[in-house]
Amino acid sequence: MIASRGRLPEDRTTGWGLDRVTVRFGRLTALERVSLGVGAGAVTAVIGADAAGKTTLLRVLVGAVRPSEGRVRRPEKRQVGYMSAGSGTYGDLTVDENLAFAARAYGLSRGVARSRIGELLDRTDLMAARRRLAGLLSGGMRQKLALAVAIVHEPELVVLDEPTTGVDPVSRAELWRLIAELAAAGTAVLMATTYVDEAERAGSVLVLLRGRPLALGTPEEIRRAVPGELYELGGRIDDWRAWRRAGRWRVWSPDGRAPEGARLIEPDLEDGLVMAQLAYEASQPEVAA
């Protein structure tokens, strides 16, 4: 773990997860010593920019990528549900056919499949669209179908790669309700996201920066892990630790001292991520400033 001091919840490796996993693709290190626990009955989020290593991490957990180093704890294949980024449904099959295909692939009996598909169509509000081609659904509906396909066999571990990216807010709220229902029913859920407000909804969060773990813990723990204080300023100051947010300037003060005219504020997760990255960059001699 980098750029944070004090207690690091690295021992929180209950349930499924990764233990000091490194993944190299040729000369490129996609993941470097990443540990993460994915507990049952909870939503765990991994957040990072494009190319931060989120998809690689998810693929390691589901067994599609073999780590170069480290260990992976996952249930047997039948108990894993995986929704890849950009869907994973067949556009030229109907909603029904997509679900039936997945049910058959997992060996569900015809009777079980029928009742399970009915239940999923109901929960995802896709009943009225069941005979439509998946390729003709709106983005939000297609993502709900992809989620239903990933959980048709009632897996213990559900892994979702950016299920809500680019989806309209109403569909996103519905997807989140489905995800919360899974967790409420005891499923272990791991999801990747680029949205901070979405990570804030998860029980615990792993922050990836260029393949490395920048922070891990509850949103609360992450915002408290960076040393120093956060201040809001009346106007702009020339300091690389200052940034603009919602029309005002904020500055991270590592030693806690208040700049002139500044007001102490409580960081939220977004501030915490900015501060963690600033702290990390300060620790890297060649990119500081």
Q: Which residues bind another protein (CB under 8 A)?
A: 41, 43, 48-52, 138-140, 166-173, 176-177, 179-181, 183-184, 194-197, 200-203, 209-210, 218-220, 243-247, 270, 273-274, 277-278
Instruction: Tell me how far apart the alpha carbons of residues 161 and 84 are, in angstroms, rounded to a whole number.
Output: 5
35 vs 164 by CB, closer to another protein? 164
To the nearest whole angstrom, how small is the minimum distance from the Cβ of residue 159 to another protein? Answer: 18
Report the DSSP beta bridge partners of residue 213: 208
Closest CA to 275 of 238, 236, 234, 224: 224
Q: CB–CB of 136/160 below 8 Å?
A: no
Closest CA to 75 of 56, 62, 59: 62
Q: CB–CB of 214/281 below 8 Å?
A: no
To the nearest whole angstrom, how small is the minimum distance from the Cβ of residue 49 to another protein? Answer: 4
10 vs 281 by CB, closer to another protein? 281
Closest CA to 78 of 155, 18, 149: 155
102 vs 182 by CB, closer to another protein? 182
Instruction: Tell me how far apart the alpha carbons of residues 234 and 215 are, in angstroms, rounded to a whole number.
Output: 30
To the nearest whole angstrom, how small is the minimum distance from the Cβ of residue 231 to another protein? Answer: 15
To the nearest whole angstrom, how small is the minimum distance from the Cβ of residue 72 to another protein? Answer: 26
To which residue do tokens 């049910």 refer?
103
42 vs 108 by CB, closer to another protein? 42
To the nearest whole angstrom, how small is the minimum distance from the Cβ of residue 240 to another protein? Answer: 10
To the nearest whole angstrom, how small is the minimum distance from the Cβ of residue 186 to another protein? Answer: 9
Question: Which residues, 6 or more positions from 22, have their beta carbon under 8 angstroms from its beta carbon?
Answer: 29, 31, 32, 33, 34, 67, 68, 69, 70
86 vs 107 by CB, closer to another protein? 86
111 vs 128 by CB, closer to another protein? 128
To the nearest whole angstrom, how small is the minimum distance from the Cβ of residue 24 to another protein? Answer: 18
Angle, alpha carbons 80-138-120 (nearest 5°): 40
Closest CA to 207 of 26, 67, 46: 46
To the nearest whole angstrom, how small is the minimum distance from the Cβ of residue 184 to another protein? Answer: 4
16 vs 280 by CB, closer to another protein? 280
87 vs 102 by CB, closer to another protein? 87
Q: What are phi and psi for residue 11, nearest 5 degrees?
A: -85, 0
Q: CB–CB of 144/125 below 8 Å?
A: yes
